[in-house]
Chains A and B, each alone.
Chain A
Amino acid sequence: MQQIQPCWLRTLKLQNFRNFSSLNITVPKDPIIIAGPNGIGKTNILEAISLFSPGKGLRQSKLGIIKKSDVQDQGWFINADFEHQHQDLNIGTGLDLSTASERRIVKVNGEKSSQTALNDWIKILWQTPQMDRLFIDGMTIRRKFFDKLLVNFSPEHSKHLYRYDYALRERSKLLREGIMDQKWLAVLEQKMAQESIAITANRLDYLSQLQGFLEQEIEGFPKIAVSLEGDVETLIHENSATVAEERLQERLCQNRSRDSVMGGSKIGAHQSEFLVLNLDCNQQAEVCSTGEQKALLLTLIMANARLLATVHEVAPILLLDEVVAHLDENRRQVLFNEILKLGIQSWLTGTDVQVFEPLRKHGHFINLNER
Chain B
Amino acid sequence: MTMISQEIDRLIKLLAKLPGLGPRSGRRMALHLIKKKTSVMDPLIAALQEVRATVQTCINCGNLDSAGKQCGVCLDEKRDATTICVVEGVDDLWAMERSNSYKGHYHVLGGVLSALDGVGPDDLTISKLQDRVKNDNVQEIIIALNATLEGQTTAHYLLERIYNPNIKVTRLAHGVPVGGELDYLDDGTISAALSSRRPF
Residues of B with C-beta under 8 A to A179: 115, 120
Q: Among residues 4 to 28 in chain B, which have CB atoms less than 8 Å away from a CB atom of chain A?
A: 22, 24
In the complex the two chains form, is A170's CB within 8 Å of B114's CB? yes
Chain A facing B: main interface SS:
helix
Measured as residues with beta carbon below 8 angstroms from the partner, the interface class of chain A is: 20 to 34
Residues of B with C-beta under 8 A to A177: 115
Measured as residues with beta carbon below 8 angstroms from the partner, the interface class of chain B is: 10 to 19
Residues of A with C-beta under 8 A to B98: none
Given that A166-B149, A187-B160 are contacting pairs, would A173 and B187 also be in contact in the complex, using a CB cutoff of 8 Å? no
Given that A156-B188, A159-B188, A170-B153 are contacting pairs, would A184 and B121 also be in contact in the complex, using a CB cutoff of 8 Å? yes
Q: Among residues 95 to 138 in chain B, which have CB atoms less than 8 Å away from a CB atom of chain A?
A: 113-116, 120-121
Question: Quick one: which of B114, B156, B161 has the most chain A CB within 10 A?
Answer: B156
Q: Identify the closest chain B residue to A173 (Cβ).
A: B115
Q: Identify the closest chain B residue to A188 (Cβ).
A: B153
Cα distance A181–B120 in the bound complex, in angstroms? 9
Cα distance A184–B156 in the bound complex, in angstroms? 9
Q: Is A281 part of the binding interface, using a Cβ–Cβ cutoff of 8 Å?
A: no
Q: Is B157 part of the binding interface, using a Cβ–Cβ cutoff of 8 Å?
A: yes
In the complex the two chains form, is A100's CB within 8 Å of B22's CB? yes
In the complex the two chains form, is B121's CB within 8 Å of A100's CB? no
In the complex the two chains form, is B120's CB within 8 Å of A167's CB? no
Cα distance A190–B157 in the bound complex, in angstroms? 11
Residues of B with C-beta under 8 A to A169: 115-116
Cα distance A181–B113 in the bound complex, in angstroms? 12
In the complex the two chains form, is B153's CB within 8 Å of A100's CB? no
Q: Is A183 part of the binding interface, using a Cβ–Cβ cutoff of 8 Å?
A: yes
Cα distance A188–B113 in the bound complex, in angstroms? 11
Q: Quick one: which of A155, A156, A163, A184 contacts B113, CB cutoff 8 A?
A: A184
Cα distance A187–B121 in the bound complex, in angstroms? 13
Encode A130-161 as 1/0 by CB contact (under 8 A) with B. Answer: 00000000000000000000000001100100
Q: Quick one: which of B121, B149, B187 contacts A181, CB cutoff 8 A?
A: B121
Cα distance A232–B149 in the bound complex, in angstroms? 23
Q: Which 6 A-B pairs have the closest CB atoms?
A: A173-B115, A100-B22, A183-B160, A187-B156, A170-B115, A187-B157
Q: Which A residues have a C-beta under 8 Å from some C-beta of B? A: 100, 155-156, 159, 162-163, 166-167, 169-171, 173-174, 177, 179, 181, 183-184, 186-188, 190-191
